[in-house]
Amino acid sequence: MKKLNIVLWDADTQKDIILKSSKFAVPGAYKLMNNFGKAISYFEKKGVLIMGSVDSHVSYESYPGTRDENLPLHCIKGTTGQLKIKSTQGDILYVSDQKYNQDALDKVIVEIKQGKRVYFEKQTQKCETNPNIEYVFKKLGIKEVYIMGVLTNVCVKYADEYFKKLGIQTYLIKNAIKGKDFPGDTEEEAIKEMIRTGTKFIFYR
């Protein structure tokens, strides 16, 4: 039985961000490749919906005036580095970050109900810059989201904040997240802050 109001959210487990050979890789994230895949199968077997985000850049991603002002090119649409790592690939429908009309989104929801995994493309670190997520989540009445992926203190943290704003209970999957420490912004601090603001911490087996 599908649990239509619970989601496993897989943030950005893509080759450029995970593979050891990539210049943009999160240090050590490649060691979690099996865990990422196992988390997806574990939740999918329980009937949880599988969704997530993928970076789908067309150019440099830049945040003027921040430490991410000049991020190296990564996850460029059409390159192999943009693809998901093997362990998190599957029967996926990708939703672009162009605003879809209601008809198109209702078709996406039909696909979800039929078991399709759905991933939302994004150009920035915040998944809600894909305007289609909110409609899908509200229409399905999502109540709980289990979050995995990278980076704990960037895209995972922003996704967690966004889902909380939608009134959703969030969970962080400890053995399937990986961050990177920056001065004044460490993975540990990000986790503490998420827990302080209501996120629950779980391990899956």
Find all residues with CB under 8 Å of 158, minimum gap 6, and list them. 125, 126, 127
State the nearest-atom distance from the C-beta of 158 to Zn ion, in Å. 12
Beta-carbon count within 10 A of 29 CB: 24
Using CB under 5 A as the binding rule, whether residue 97 contacts Zn ion is answered as no
State the nearest-atom distance from the C-beta of 17 to Zn ion, in Å. 8
State the nearest-atom distance from the C-beta of 59 to Zn ion, in Å. 11
State the nearest-atom distance from the C-beta of 67 to Zn ion, in Å. 14
Q: How many residues does the chain have?
A: 205
Site for Zn ion in 59-78 (CB under 5 A): 61
End-to-end CA distance of the chain: 21
Residue nearest to Zn ion (CB): 55
Tell me the window of 19-27, 54-62, 109-117, 179-187 that interacts with Zn ion (CB under 5 A).
54-62
Q: How many residues bind Zn ion (CB under 5 A)?
A: 2
Tell me the window of 47-55, 80-88, 137-145, 178-186 that interacts with Zn ion (CB under 5 A).
47-55
Residue 201 and residue 172: Cα distance in Å, rounded? 5
Using CB under 5 A as the binding rule, whether residue 16 contacts Zn ion is answered as no
Task: Between 17 and 176, name the residue whose CB sits nearer to Zn ion.
Answer: 17
Residue 49 and residue 113: Cα distance in Å, rounded? 8
Residue 90 and residue 1: Cα distance in Å, rounded? 19
State the nearest-atom distance from the C-beta of 123 to Zn ion, in Å. 8
Using CB under 5 A as the binding rule, whether residue 55 contacts Zn ion is answered as yes
43-47 long-range contacts, CB within 8 A, separation 24+: 43/8, 43/146, 43/204, 44/8, 44/117, 46/3, 47/1, 47/2, 47/3, 47/6
Contacts with Zn ion by CB under 5 A lie at 55, 61
